[in-house]
């Protein structure tokens, strides 16, 4: 999860990431639903405030976390990796808790035509994913190739020992396959139903789905996810022990670049807040609960 969060900033310098994030998110949203002018403005404000909140409150802390990870890479065992991943996960959860109520309110503002188009696009993507998975002849081989591609981006050429380790461990992972796609559709259906609700509990139901999708996981799927998580931690620890000095340094340089990007975003956010508000903290923190006046728009 931590590496996924880092990868969101790949290839971006701080200024580009900070000042172009609003437009990027709006364009991505347009792939699934056509928002009206007021909704686009609302989405831009959510992204802007999220960047400002993140940049002025936690960017330096998490830049430090990335640098620590770079220093520790070759010494981490399964428990060391778990500590870093938990810290990264806490950051994303905190960000989600701050802004999920506003995103839920935006989703509630979709009218019936927008909702139908939104869920139709999601189902179209589900079909594409099912077709892609059906084309995979051997999931174990595909998993090895995928892991190798990801690792090469961070480490460069893998050693023969690392390639053998990947092949050995990848075969032990359980394939989520149809379980994953079924769970994806189950969550989407729950969201569709939540967006048709009225009353003060409606927004809270959407927030719960955004923040805790795992609450819908059936026992068999949750078990597969947990067992694969443990296998991933073990694999990361074993790979750390095989890193060459060149690989360690290469990954450390990349983490340093991302740390610098985070710090740059924080500096830009703090400057903009001071320019508009004088002294921090400003404006007040975003709501952690759905607004009392939140209502479902006309259907």
Give residue 286's pLDDT: 52
Share of the chain above pLDDT 90, in %: 45
Beta carbons of 140 and 170 less than 8 angstroms apart: yes
Most confident of 51-65, 105-119, 194-208, 259-273: 105-119
Given a cut of 70, whether residue 147 has pLDDT beyond it is: yes
Burial of 95-125, coded b for 16+ CB within 10 Å and e otherwise, reads: beebbbbbbbbbbbbbeeebbeebbeebeee
Residue 146 pLDDT level (bands cut at 50, 70, 90): confident
Tokens (6 digits) for 24 = 């990027």
Give residue 278's pLDDT: 52
Distance of CA 280 to the CA centre of its chain: 28
Q: What is the pLDDT of residues 254-277, one digit of tens each?
A: 999 888 887 877 777 666 666 555
Q: Which of 252, 4, 8, 248 is nearest to 150 (CA)?
A: 4
Mean pLDDT (the chain) is 81
Give residue 249's pLDDT: 95
Q: What is the 3-state secondary structure (H, E, C) of 172-196?
A: CCCCCHHHHHHHHHHHHHHHHHHCC
Give residue 32's pLDDT: 86
- Residue spans of the domains in the chain: they are 2-277
Q: What is the pLDDT of residues 157-178, one digit of tens each?
A: 999 999 999 989 988 999 887 8
H helix runs in the chain, sequence order:
2-7, 14-30, 37-57, 59-72, 78-108, 112-134, 139-155, 160-170, 177-194, 202-211, 219-240, 245-277
Residue 28 pLDDT level (bands cut at 50, 70, 90): confident
Give residue 124's pLDDT: 95
- C-alpha 182/C-alpha 133 separation (Å) is 13
Give residue 57's pLDDT: 62
């Amino acid at each position: 999860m931590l590496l996924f969060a880092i990868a969101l900033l790949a290839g971006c310098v701080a200024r580009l990431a900070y000042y172009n994030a609003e437009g990027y998110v709006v364009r991505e949203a347009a792939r699934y639903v056509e928002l009206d002018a007021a909704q686009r403005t609302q989405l831009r404000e959510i992204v802007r405030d999220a960047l400002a909140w993140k940049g002025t409150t936690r960017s330096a802390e998490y830049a430090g976390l990335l640098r620590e990870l770079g220093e520790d890479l070759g010494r981490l065992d399964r428990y060391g990796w778990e500590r870093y991943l938990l810290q990264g996960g806490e950051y994303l959860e905190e960000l989600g808790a701050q802004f999920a109520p506003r995103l839920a309110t935006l989703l509630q503002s979709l009218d019936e035509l927008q909702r139908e188009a939104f869920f139709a696009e999601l189902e179209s993507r589900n079909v594409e994913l099912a077709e892609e998975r059906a084309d995979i002849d051997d999931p174990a081989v595909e998993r090895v190739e995928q892991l190798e591609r990801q690792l090469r981006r961070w480490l460069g050429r893998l050693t023969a020992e690392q390639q053998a380790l990947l092949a050995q461990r990848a075969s032990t992972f359980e394939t989520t396959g149809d379980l994953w796609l079924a769970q994806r559709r189950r969550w989407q259906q729950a969201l569709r139903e939540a967006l048709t609700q009225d009353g003060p509990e409606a927004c809270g139901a959407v927030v719960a789905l955004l923040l805790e999708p795992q609450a819908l996981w059936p026992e068999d799927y949750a078990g597969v996810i947990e067992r694969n998580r443990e296998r991933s931690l073990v694999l990361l620890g074993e790979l750390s022990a095989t890193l060459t000095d060149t690989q360690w340094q290469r990954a450390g340089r990349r983490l340093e670049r991302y740390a610098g990007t985070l710090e740059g975003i924080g500096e830009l956010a703090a400057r903009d807040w001071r320019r508009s508000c004088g002294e921090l903290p400003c404006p007040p923190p975003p709501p952690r609960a759905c607004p009392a006046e939140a209502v479902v728009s006309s259907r």
